[in-house]
Structure 1
Amino acid sequence: MKNNNIDAENFAGYRKMEGVDDKLGTAFPIMVMYPTDTPEKEEKIGPYSLEVAKNAQPQEKVFPLVILSHGTGGTPLVYRTLARHLARNGFIVAMPEHPYNNVKDNHLENSIELLECRPGNITQTIDCLANDRNFKSFVNFDDIALIGHSMGGYTAMAAIGGVPATLPWETDDQIPKVIDVEVEERVKKVILLAPALGWFRSEGALDRINLPILLITGEKDEITPPFHGEFLLKGVKNPENIEHKMIENAGHFSFLSPFPKEMKSSSFPPSQDPEGFDRTLFQQHLEADVLHFLVN
């Protein structure tokens, strides 16, 4: 993915769109950050304050597209600093809020229906941008990457051709059921952050995967421990396509943007890291690693 429009002096625009999940029959929000010439100012987005140019006009160029898929019960806003960094460096970043598997409504968690529908949100998000008057002229649809954290890792692998099968607790008879997912052929690169990949444990589940992948895992991750990464490393036919980084002392939520002081609490696990881990410093390294992978 070569990007000839990188300019660290870009400002990050922010706009909210709406996609449609045809299978679930519902609309879902898509948060988009993108390069703009309009100066940023502090905006309140959800519970967070962020320096962005809200509803600004995109720069008059064509930019690569990155789709970012959040974890189960999550929100795109917890990746706000990574998305803004990419926007400032010449990428349009679209972040769907997965229907019925987000912080506001999570009733599809651990369901077959979720496994079937989540990957489709990637295609629906790309199509939404392709039909949107604000963005369709500024996106290079031949240059699309996909970032997935946790359950977003499942989403990414299923979307690009992985063949998932249910886990024992997801069916009444505990017999694995293969999930039928339509492959999104437009994705050219994938970044997996502490991915949940147990659905691809079956032999041959990853035979069709043949894209460059950056896999970043946390040494102290107790939610998606390192063996999830092993499903990928041992399951693909071309492991040389995978760059793997294990982050020393990182936990599962270390990949999220740092939370404001008032939200940090031991009763709120996403705000917590293993003792001695500096999330703010790590985010700077993460932003650099992700950007480097995307532009090379």
Structure 2
Amino acid sequence: MKNGEKEKFAGLKKVEVVDDHLGVTFPVFVMYPTRTPEKEEFIGPYSLNVAKDAKPQDDVFPLVVISHGTGGTPLVYRTLARHLVQNGFIVAMPEHPYNNIHDNQLENSVTLLESRPGNITQTIDWFKGDDLFKNNVNFDDISIIGHSMGGYTAIAATGGIPTTLPWETDNQVPEVIDLKVEERIKKVILLAPALGWFRNEGALEKLNLPILMMTGERDEITPYFHAEILLKGVGNTEKIESRTIDDAGHFSFLSPFPKEMKKSSFPPSQDPAGFDRELFHQELESDVLNFLLS
């Protein structure tokens, strides 16, 4: 640390945001720069050095929203979030209602396709109305990171027009989902995105944002054809930076799990043979940060 430079700490606050579409509230983990020293905290099964409920640093920061995968949890992106905070970002990690590790009853439903993008807008709106944070967010510099189903969420929120898959409607007739575009989002990062809902002609023509997309070479859940849907569907591919990560699997983009959680019976903790998740995440953090700062 240079002389005169203050140490950078990450604050953590869990808040509740209203989903007016579903008529419920959902938790959002907010990580943010603070001057309060960190200490080890256990958040769910994970250990993280943070300053819980600390006062935000008096400054204005870009906002990044992270959207988790289906049946997942925002906590599996904790290390990426903390890295961004330490480099001057506020990070919001919503737990999508009825599509998370605790309650996944909306999986494979039209309601989920409608509500997930709305959760992003609701999260951004929460910051606009919160007395603690509203003066700390640069609302002209908002980005979204989406992993797996979070990739659907990111694209649906920023101009993609999704169409249901056969098993998502009772009559199996395709239904176009009408969504409002979240125009406050300026950049998109996709990690092993699920994009099968955007195969119809014209579904991605309105998408015109800088996009960083990373896919796993050995991803069997969202293989490369999902990335191809985006690359073939957008009007301007020059704004897309697409990379395939050698030997990576679908879950390689999740924060490394504690040793006691690394079991063959727990697929999110597993990677293809020979893949070093810890080493990759150093590169991932750097690449994501560089893209957001570019």
* Common topology (TM > 0.5): yes
Does the alignment pair 1:201 with 2:199?
Answer: yes
Q: Of 151, 160, 163, which residue of structure 2 is paired with 1:162?
A: 160
**1:171 to partner: Cα distance:** 1.7
User: AA paired with 1:258?
Assistant: P
User: AA paired with 1:148?
Assistant: G
CA distance in 2, matches of 1:11, 1:281: 23
1:3 corresponds in structure 2 to none
**Secondary structure at 2:274 match in 1:** coil
Give the percent of matched residue pairs that are identical in Structure 1 and Structure 2: 74
Instruction: Say if 1:8 and 1:121 are closer, same or farther in 2 by CA, change over 3 A.
Output: farther
Q: Segments of 4+ in structure 1 off by > 4 A?
A: none
**1:175 to partner: Cα distance:** 2.1
Does the alignment pair 1:110 with 2:129?
Answer: no
1:16 corresponds in structure 2 to 14
Does the alignment pair 1:217 with 2:215?
Answer: yes
- The two structures, once aligned, show a CA RMSD in angstroms of 1.0
Q: Of 80, 83, 88, which residue of structure 2 is paired with 1:90?
A: 88
User: AA paired with 1:263?
Assistant: M
User: AA paired with 1:270?
Assistant: P
CA distance in 1, matches of 2:284, 2:82: 13
Map 1:107-186 onto structure 2 (within 5 A).
107-186=105-184
Q: Of 185, 188, 191, which residue of structure 2 is paired with 1:190?
A: 188
CA distance in 2, matches of 1:232, 1:10: 37
Conserved 8 A contact 1:101-1:109: yes
Unaligned runs of 5+ in 2: none
**1:8 to partner: Cα distance:** 9.3
2:44 corresponds in structure 1 to 46
CA distance in 2, matches of 1:133, 1:186: 20
**1:288 to partner: Cα distance:** 0.2
Unaligned runs of 5+ in 1: 1-6
CA distance in 1, matches of 2:80, 2:21: 30
Q: Could you give the per-residue CA deviations for residues 196-238 of structure 1, whole angstroms, max 9, x where no partner exists?
A: 0000000000010000000010000000001000000010000
Conserved 8 A contact 1:8-1:88: no
CA distance in 1, matches of 2:100, 2:173: 27
CA distance in 2, matches of 1:113, 1:245: 32
Map 1:49-68 onto structure 2 (within 5 A).
49-68=47-66
**Secondary structure at 2:260 match in 1:** helix
Taking structure 2 as the reference length, what is the TM-score of the superposition?
0.97
User: AA paired with 2:275?
Assistant: F
Taking structure 1 as the reference length, what is the TM-score of the superposition?
0.97
User: AA paired with 2:81?
Assistant: A
Q: Could you give the per-residue CA deviations for residues 230-267 of structure 1, whole angstroms, max 9, x where no partner exists?
A: 00001000000000111000000000001111111111
Q: Name which structure has the greater RCO, CA cutoff 8 Å, separation 6+.
A: 1
User: AA paired with 2:255?
Assistant: S
Instruction: Say if 1:8 and 1:205 are closer, same or farther in 2 by CA, change over 3 A.
Output: farther
CA distance in 2, matches of 1:105, 1:255: 22
Does the alignment pair 1:37 with 2:39?
Answer: no
Instruction: Say if 1:8 and 1:197 are closer, same or farther in 2 by CA, change over 3 A.
Output: farther
CA distance in 1, matches of 2:266, 2:66: 23
